[in-house]
Amino acid sequence: MQVECNSTQAATNESPAGASTSATVGTSGASAKCITTTNVNKSSKQQRGALKDVGILKREDFDGGPVSLDEIVCGLYLGNLTAATHMMTLKIYRITHILTLDSVPLPQHITEASFLTTKYVQISDMKKEDILHHLDSCTEFIESALAQEGNVLVHCYYGVSRSSAAVIAFIMKSRHLDYQAAFEMVRKRRRFVQPNIGFVYQLKLYGSMGCKIDTQYQPYKIYRLRLAGDQVLKAKILPQSFNSLIQADPAVTQENPEPIVYRCRKCRRVLASKAHILQHDNRSLITQTPPKASGSNIASNNGTTAPQASRLLEKIAVEILKTYTPTDTESQSLVCRNIIFVEPIAWMRNITHNTQGRLNCPKCEQKVGNFSWINGCQCPCGEVVTPAFYLIPSRVELSKAVQNVQTTL
Ligand SMILES: [Zn+2]
Ligand SMILES: [Zn+2]
């Protein structure tokens, strides 16, 4: 769902009360159709002349279809933009709170309505959009509205992806459900729900953190590094808002030094502590692990034809691989030690101003690794890590002596 402003339908009689502009636009003929707010600025003199009569076109002049909203749990509604801008609907359903997840906010006559409390999250429906960092505040808003015995409408443009992601997050958190169970529950009430693939990943990550951001959780660290990598790709430098990604130098950290550290093999300068390591599973071992469940029975029981069965089997295999969780013993043996991926650390020079480069020991200048914000690094095991900051195992050594933590730079 990447379409945001392309409704070809001018506002109809379902438009909010008082939106006289909409009605006028509807009578201005074909030229008003398909014109987005952006296009208005670029329109011909003739169009500008015509539009002058009807005022400036606004977002609310182009609706997301007829009013559509569904009650997911008591007092919690999920719907489209039209529902959120239709005053009559808001009154009929006794909506007291509106949570908007959209690229533009609601019109003023809605946000300033005396009976409404509103919250706006600016977000596009793109898989790389970061919805994860809004989920806590969104679920809190819904919780608060329901605690006041209000009725809350969560909406985006169509009520399919962004708003459903927020509602699913709330269901996961309030009912202690995993993503799939929460998704199914919401879909039973509104059959259109389908968060985009990036949001699904983020919701699953949210669930695995216990429905709250855990900055020490490794998959979260990797997620945030990827967000930063996307920004570096655009800006060629690391935006300041991501500076917190760069970890304190373990060689100068005095409080509670970690006992297990990696040192430069040449000069023994401390380079990374165990907490900085971003572990990955050895992909060559994972792919050798045969999934125990057999798909053949499922396919034949369904009476599917051969091509359908093979597609089904492929899907099953992928799903099984995704959900396959090794036991503790297996997990230990799966951890790859070919390359030591780490978080960005303060001694790494130029990592905020370059997209990629070498990592030299800050004391002896020996090359100890490489980094790239934008290109993936493929470990010999086959796993591709992006962004990648890594130490070369032959250039570093593991040390367990806490008293040896150095203070020199
Ligand atoms: Zn060194
Ligand atoms: Zn590996």
Instruction: Check if the beta carbon of residue 72 is closer than 8 Å to that of residue 187.
Output: no
Residue 254 pLDDT: 65
Instruction: List phi, psi (to 5°) of 260.
Output: -105, 120
**Ligand 1 centre and the CA of 73: distance in Å?**
60
Could you read off the pLDDT of 328-342 as tens digits, one per residue?
444 556 889 889 999
**Ligand 1 centre and the CA of 345: distance in Å?**
15
Residue 308 pLDDT: 60
CATH superfamily of 69-214: Protein tyrosine phosphatase superfamily (3.90.190.10)
Identify the CATH number of the domain defined by range 244-282+336-399: 2.170.150
Let me know if 156 is a catalytic residue: yes
Nearest ligand, CA 362: 1
Instruction: Check if the beta carbon of residue 71 is closer than 8 Å to that of residue 89.
Output: no
Could you read off the pLDDT of 155-174 as tens digits, one per residue?
999 999 999 999 999 999 99
**Ligand 2 centre and the CA of 380: distance in Å?**
6
Residue 315 pLDDT: 61
**Ligand 2 centre and the CA of 30: distance in Å?**
59
Q: With 0-12 CB in 10 A as exposed, 13-18 as middle and 19+ as buried, what is 207?
A: buried
Q: Considering 5, 34, 138, 156, which one is annotated as catalytic? A: 156
Nearest ligand, CA 360: 1
Angle 162-175/179-189 helices, nearest 10 degrees?
Answer: 120
Residue 332 pLDDT: 55
Mean pLDDT, contiguous 10-residue spans, the chain (409 residues): 33 33 28 28 36 46 77 97 96 98 96 97 95 98 98 96 98 97 97 94 97 94 94 91 93 78 96 92 69 39 48 58 49 79 95 94 97 91 93 93 50
Could you read off the pLDDT of 298-318 as tens digits, one per residue?
333 444 445 565 566 566 555
Cα separation values, 16 from 67, 107, 155, Å: 10, 10, 16
